Each structure stands twice: as C-alpha cells, then as structure tokens.
Structure 1
Amino acid sequence: MGLVLEKDYIQYFTNNREEFQESLLSEARNVRGKIEEILLIGNIDLLSNAHKLVMYTIQGKDHELEKFAKIEGVSWASHSLTLAFKLEWVHAIRRTVWKYFQEFNKLNHIELEAESFFNTERQINDRIDKFLNELFLSYSEYKDNLIESQKTLVENLSVPIIPITSKVCVLPLIGSIDTYRIDTIEEKVLLEISRLRIGTLVIDLSGIAQMETEAIERIMKVMEGANMMGCECVITGLRPEIVRKITTIGLTFESKAQTKATLQQALEDFLR
C-alpha cells in the first residue's frame, strides 16, 4: 500500500537528496565521522543505503525492503559493525523522514486530516520497524552460524586425531580437560574409530598438566568404548602428578590400555 501523494513525496525527496543527507548527518552526529571508515571496512555506503531505505518505505515496496534488510544484516555482521551504531543511524533516518514530510506539506499547504496522518504515520513507522526487525534477525542468524562454525573448528582442533598408518592413529591432548571437552573427546574418538577403522589409538597425555578425577574416570570410559569397537588404546606421556591421582582413587589403565613412557617410544614400537 503506497502513501498519499506518493509520487509527489518521492519527487520531493529525490530533488532534495543532498539537503536530506546533510540533515540526516546532523541528526546522527556519532555516525558522521564514521561514513568513510565504514565504506572502507565493509564497502557499505551509508548515505546511498539511507536513500534506498527511504524510497522503499515511501513506495511501499515491502518485499524489496525485507530483502534489503537481510543483506544489510549480513554486511554489518560479517564486518563486526555494532548494532547500536546501526540503530542510531536508522532512528536518525526516521526523524529526518518526518522532518521532510512536514516541510513538504508546509510548502504545498497540505493539511492532512487526522485519519490520513495516522495512516501515513503507521505505514512509515511500520516499514522502518520491519526493516530493523529483519536486519536484527539476519545479523543474529549470521553471528550464530559463525559462532557455531568456529565452535566446530575449535572442537576439531582440540581433539586432533592424526593417522600414522592405515590402522594406527595418534590423539595428542594439550591443556586442561573439563567436562565439556571430555564430551567432545568421547564423541570424536568413537566417530573417528568407526570412520577410519582405527585398530590402535595412541592417546598422548604429555601435554596435560592437570586432570580432575571426573575427567580421569571419563577417559577410562572412552577407552572402554574404543575397546568395544575393536580398537586397542595406548596411553603415553603420563605425568607423575596424574599417576598419583589415578592410584589415589584406585583406578588403573592396565585392563583398558597399554602404557608407554613417551609418544616416540610408542610410535617406534608400532612402526617397527
């Protein structure tokens, strides 16, 4: 649904585009100094995009407005531009649009009846609100997908199963092992044993400085699961402090895995 006197409004905004932009920049003072920077960072022309938003709003092009909002959301998210900054810019556009509607009506001696005014107000504000809503959804969806892909990458890097031969693989663990990471280790190990048909998995713990009791017990269960799938486990690089903790809680690796002093020793044995 278009606005009352739509063509006249469009012509007025088009003819006064430069003045509109100056007025807009005076409304969004924090944005003014960032115009060139944003153009360089993300190839985003704020002024051109503001004009496009105004034209889609006046012309009632809801489909184009929604599509434009989604593209804008992805652009801002992919270049890590803040939503607060965008929100300030769009609200400045809204205020400037209403300022120019008032000037147009004054110049042309138009006095809108209450019903016509509120109808126009509803159309303009609803479309700008819809633009913001779609932009925020698009922005959030892009960020969520990015976080998920980064999470998957980190998980894969935190459980790097390295093939040595067609049947022997190494899992070097580094850093600390918490409940979340042990869940990832268990899932990744069992999946990779099935996928790669691993016969022997060498788990190197030389990079683990500390393991909580729960993590030790879960490592035991990982080895049990591997054994059930026909994969032999070999533990290397156990540090004295971890060995003491294992013996203190009455556990042993003997029934579940071989132990070797170092990863090098294990590889020499299996590659001999």
Structure 2
Amino acid sequence: MEQCMKSLYTYLNDHLVDMREEWLKILENSSSNFYSIDKSTANLEELVTAHQILIENVIKVFIEDEAEYSANISKWAVKVAEKRAKDLVPILESIEQLNVVKGILSSYVEKFSEESTDHLTISTLFEWIRLIHYAFDLFVNIFISSYDEYKFQQLTAQQETIYELSSPVIPITKGIGVLPLIGDIDTKRAQLIMENTLKECNEKRFNHLFIDLSGVPLIDTMVAHQIFQVIHALRLIGVKGYLSGLRPEVAQTAIQLGVDFSQIPMFNNLASALESFGLMVNEVKYV
C-alpha cells in the first residue's frame, strides 16, 4: 500500500503541468473578477505559481506523515489567504477555485488507478480520494480562518484611522486649538480622543482648546465622563479646556442624567467662543 501511494505521488507530480493546463482552460470561461486569464500577465503568473505550489503541497499527503503534512499545508494556506484578502478577492471565489482544483486532482487519481498495472481495490481508490478531500478540507479551513483574521485586522486598523481622523485637533492661532467632535462617541473612540488630544496639544504647545460638541447628536453619562476626563487631563498639562455647541436636546438630556457642566467654561457656539478671545471666524488663520 505504501509503495502504491509513492507511485501515485510520482504520477501526480509528473502530471502537474497537465493539471495546470486543465485548470487554465476552465479559467477561460470563468466569470470571476480575479481568477481570469484575461488579467495582466503579472496576475496570471501569480495564479499559475500559486496553483503549482498548492498542488505540490496537497499531493504530499500521500508521502508525508500527518503532522509534517499539516504544518506544511498550513503555512501555505496562511500565505495565500493573506494575499487574497489583501487583493480584496471575495472568499467565495477562492473557495470555488479550490473546489475546481480538487476535482481535477481527483480525476488524475482515478486515471492513475485505471492505468495502474497493480490490482487496486475500490476501497484503495476511495482511501486516496478521502485523503485528497482531507488535504483540501484542511487547507480550506485554515484559509478561511486566516482570511477572516486578516480582514478583521484590516477593518480594525481602518476603524482606528477613521477614529483618529474624526477627532482632529486643529490649530487656529498661536496657543489656541479646536477639537470639533462629530457623530456618536463610543468607549473606543472616547479613549482615542483622549490620547490624540493630549498628544496633539502637547506637541503643538496649546494653552487653550475649544471642544465643539455641535456635531454630537447624543450624550450619555459615559460621554459626559469622558469629556470631563479630557478637560481634566488637559488642565494637568497646562491647557485650559472650553466647551461649545452643546445642542438643546443634548443639554436637556445632560440635565436629566444629572451631568453638571457648570465648572467648565461654556459657549453657545464655536464662533462666540472664538470671539471671546478676540478672534473673528472670518479672520482666523489656520496654522
């Protein structure tokens, strides 16, 4: 049995080019945006190389012990998953192509059994097909897990970038800056606002910072607490904080929640806040 499996491995390895050509013919009629031979030469070369390495790794299921095989196929699955996620290839398109490749490989296992001079039993053929399915199932499971993990990391990084961009500290004149807050504020964003605000105020040597809340539709005890925390932390580094633009409905909610803004300098809007420092809005020069 072991010798037959080695012979099968050699047969499949000798027909790598044939299997690749069959796959490329199928790609000619593919409706996939990524898996298409109409793409650039560089993309086609990458697909062919990836296909070659995939098959080379999969067929080793017939000659390697399970632990060694699992380690090798896992490394390749992770690498391919990250590449496909980075290229924004829909995961279903990748799984579809893996099934196509599995079908082609299985057909060559059947060809080997038909051409073999050894007396092979049906159970032997079924065992080989089972190993092929096992190999691809292992690859697909790791591929999906790695693909999802990479996409999650991308989304997390993008979300953090969005958070940072949504809380910009804008210098308007020497020693004075504005922090315009827009949209809902959750715990994660509140923490980033704290970190970014302190860092920016320190680097730009602000003495005064106006936090404008006109774009915040909702305030709760958590948001109010975070605002207090930011202003208190600013005071510790020598920056005086002011609030402006507290919308009527937000102010009403704050009162109902028992939030006390009386210890913080307040302004009706950002324009009046700037005017209190002798800065007319149409004269402000952003620096």
TM-score normalised by the chain length of structure 2 = 0.71
* Matching residue of 2:86: 78
2:47 and 2:76 map into 1 onto residues whose CA distance is 13
2:88 and 2:23 map into 1 onto residues whose CA distance is 28
Residue 164 of structure 2 corresponds to residue 156 of structure 1: yes
Matches within 5 A, 1:66-215: 66-112=74-120, 124-165=132-173, 167-215=175-223
* Matching residue of 2:56: 55
**1:82, CA displacement in angstroms?**
2.6
Aligned pair in 2 of structure 1 residues 99, 163: CA closer, same or farther (>3 Å)?
Answer: same
Residue of structure 2 aligned with 1:230, choices 220, 224, 238? 238
Letter in 2 for 1:50: H
Letter in 2 for 1:10: N
Aligned residues of 1:35 and 1:46 also touching (Cα < 8 A)? no
SS of equivalent residue, structure 1 residue 38? coil
CA offsets per residue over residues 17-75 of structure 1, 9 Å max, x none? 545665xx4xx9xx953256534499366566434422333356968755543332123
| Greater mean alpha carbon deviation, residues 142-151 or residues 54-63 | 54-63
**1:237, CA displacement in angstroms?**
2.2
Aligned residues of 2:242 and 2:265 also touching (Cα < 8 A)? yes
SS of equivalent residue, structure 1 residue 155? helix
* Structure 1 vs Structure 2 CA RMSD: 3.9
Question: Any unmatched runs of 5+ in structure 1?
Answer: none
**1:124, CA displacement in angstroms?**
4.2
**1:130, CA displacement in angstroms?**
4.0
* Matching residue of 1:43: 43
Aligned residues of 2:210 and 2:241 also touching (Cα < 8 A)? yes
| Greater mean alpha carbon deviation, residues 41-50 or residues 5-14 | 41-50
Residue 22 of structure 2 corresponds to residue 14 of structure 1: no
**1:258, CA displacement in angstroms?**
1.9
Aligned residues of 1:4 and 1:120 also touching (Cα < 8 A)? no
Aligned residues of 1:213 and 1:245 also touching (Cα < 8 A)? no
**1:173, CA displacement in angstroms?**
1.2
Residue of structure 1 aligned with 2:271, choices 242, 264, 267? 264
Aligned pair in 2 of structure 1 residues 82, 110: CA closer, same or farther (>3 Å)?
Answer: farther
* Matching residue of 1:4: 6
Aligned pair in 2 of structure 1 residues 154, 16: CA closer, same or farther (>3 Å)?
Answer: closer
1:36 and 1:181 map into 2 onto residues whose CA distance is 36
**1:120, CA displacement in angstroms?**
5.1
1:67 and 1:82 map into 2 onto residues whose CA distance is 21
1:162 and 1:202 map into 2 onto residues whose CA distance is 10
| Greater mean alpha carbon deviation, residues 243-252 or residues 101-110 | 243-252
| Greater mean alpha carbon deviation, residues 6-15 or residues 148-157 | 6-15
2:95 and 2:109 map into 1 onto residues whose CA distance is 21
Letter in 1 for 2:244: T
